[in-house]
Amino acid sequence: MIKNKTMDKLVSLCKRRGFIFPSSDIYGGLEATNDYGPLGIELKNNIKSLWWRDMVTSRKDIVGMDASIFMNSKVWEASGHVNEFHDPLVDCKNCKSRFREDHIDLNKNCPDCGIRDWTNPKQFNLMLKTQYGPSEESSSTIYLRPETAQGIFVNFLNVINSSRMKPPFGIAQIGKAFRNEITTGNFLFRSREFEQMEMEFFVKPDETSEWLEYWKNFRFDWYKTLGIDGKKLRLRSHKNNELAHYAAACYDVEYEFPFGWSELEGIADRGVYDLKQHSQHSGKKLTWFDSITNKHIMPAVVESSAGVDRTVLTVLSDAYHEEKVNGEERILLKLHPRIAPIKVAIFPLINKNELPEIADNIIKELTKNFSTFYDSTGSIGKRYRRQDEAGTPYGITVDYDTLNDSSITVRHRDNMNQERISIDSISKYLADHINKVE
Ligand code: GAP
């Protein structure tokens, strides 16, 4: 449920412009699930590609992988999720609404019915189950993974044996995770199906604290490269009573959303917890042979665990702006050009006199390197406003002067400044600007 005015406006823009739709919309939706539309998927893919570039392909010390969502149930027994992955739940005895105990004040009345009559808190396991196999009799119950991390831990040996990585090194993956959350909401913030970008960094145990320090700073700075306002980002250290069952220490990267400061990513010291558990439960020796000391060591793990959907929500919240222009409201998404779904929109001023053909030729050239959008309907002012809401950083107008001097107008989304450049220089102009903007 969204109770925040700014969030309401953002949700409405996301639907209007095709970023995010409620899932199963024509059937009334399904609580806490969302579908990414044409612009949303481009934005999400841009974020994932930048993460993959910065965490995997541009580094020598991290490799990627993609594990199955379905895993042997023993994985979740070993990882502790079957016994420990709980949230405290309370019910309102009057209206039967359910809440996470740590999300409400039990000394106050139920926010849904206004009566104070709570059950005692009980532990609720967050894992979703399904039947695996063709018939109910022969199938077995398995879990939908609640984090992608375990797919990495159970492949530790496969990766070191095949890629000859040695500590300090990391394994990264991006993928869906599922949690039967007690309370969902705030749009993309907490849902039951979401995507994670996780990286497990394997280090010698006595080097854990220096790597935790390194990763918490690296990951904090990464969000600024997406164009997010640094004043709305902070790092927060977990108190002992907040730590997950596997973590010895943890920092959260938090963002100041319209509904308050909340977690974007956790950077945790998982120690040897996971490899030790899987070693004991599988009977396999999950160690690395250090040929210098001639010893087998079990590496400790520093984890960076980020939410794709929360990052999407962050960049959208951060980019949302309203302003008055000549007495009229202008809504725009000041998305960083690197993540904007459409980099450039092309507008023939009118739909005749060769202007559409010239615009078509420009599009053909630009689509080789940029995501583009062609719009020839409505007044030019209306076309600009539609692209402002889509977060498109540059607009190109082909007009009558183009016929004489082969120049076009480039309009900048944020300050609405316009400049005249030649058609030949557009590609270079855009490449320079998209890469230059801080
Ligand atoms: N492997 C560690 C782990 O999963 P977590 O703090 O439970 O740690 C990591 O989750 C990140 O996954 C969170 O910081 C958040 O960005 C995202 N996340 C977790 N639960 C979520 C949910 N229900 N909806 C959307 N994103 C979620």
Query: pLDDT tens, 34-52?
Result: 999 999 999 999 999 999 9
Residue 182 pLDDT > 60: yes
With cut-offs at 50, 70 and 90, classify the pLDDT of residue 3. low
145 alpha carbon to ligand 1 midpoint, in Å? 12
Cβ(190) to ligand 1 under 6 A?
yes
Residue-wise pLDDT for 290-312, tens only, equals 999 999 999 999 999 999 999 99
With cut-offs at 50, 70 and 90, classify the pLDDT of residue 414. very high
Q: Which of 147, 176, 273 to mutate to test the pocket of ligand 1 (most atoms within 8 A of CB)?
A: 147
Q: What is the mean pLDDT of residues 359-388?
A: 96
Cβ(266) to ligand 1 under 6 A?
yes
Cβ(151) to ligand 1 under 6 A?
no
With cut-offs at 50, 70 and 90, classify the pLDDT of residue 424. very high
93 alpha carbon to ligand 1 midpoint, in Å? 30
Residue 437 pLDDT > 70: no
Cβ(196) to ligand 1 under 6 A?
yes
Atom of ligand 1 nearest to the CA of 146: 4
- pLDDT at position 436 is 75
- pLDDT at position 138 is 64
Residue 356 C-beta-side C-alpha neighbours within 13 Å: 7
- pLDDT at position 57 is 98
- Ligand 1: which residue has its CA nearest to atom 14? 265
Residue-wise pLDDT for 96-138, tens only, equals 998 989 888 999 999 999 999 999 999 999 999 999 988 776 6
Q: What is the mean pLDDT of residues 360-377?
A: 96
- Ligand 1: which residue has its CA nearest to atom 12? 307
With cut-offs at 50, 70 and 90, classify the pLDDT of residue 246. confident
Q: What is the mean pLDDT of residues 63-79?
A: 97
307 alpha carbon to ligand 1 midpoint, in Å? 6
Q: What is the mean pLDDT of residues 217-228?
A: 97
- pLDDT at position 438 is 59
Cβ(270) to ligand 1 under 6 A?
no
195 alpha carbon to ligand 1 midpoint, in Å? 8
Cβ(181) to ligand 1 under 6 A?
yes
Residue 1 pLDDT > 50: no
With cut-offs at 50, 70 and 90, classify the pLDDT of residue 243. confident
Cβ(223) to ligand 1 under 6 A?
no
- pLDDT at position 2 is 44
Atom of ligand 1 nearest to the CA of 189: 25
With cut-offs at 50, 70 and 90, classify the pLDDT of residue 242. confident
Lowest mean pLDDT among 1-10, 64-73, 182-191: 1-10
Q: What is the mean pLDDT of residues 359-376?
A: 96
- Ligand 1: which residue has its CA nearest to atom 16? 307
With cut-offs at 50, 70 and 90, classify the pLDDT of residue 412. very high
Q: Which of 222, 263, 314 to mutate to test the pocket of ligand 1 (most atoms within 8 A of CB)?
A: 263
Q: What percent of the chain has pLDDT over 70?
A: 98
Q: What is the mean pLDDT of residues 270-280?
A: 97
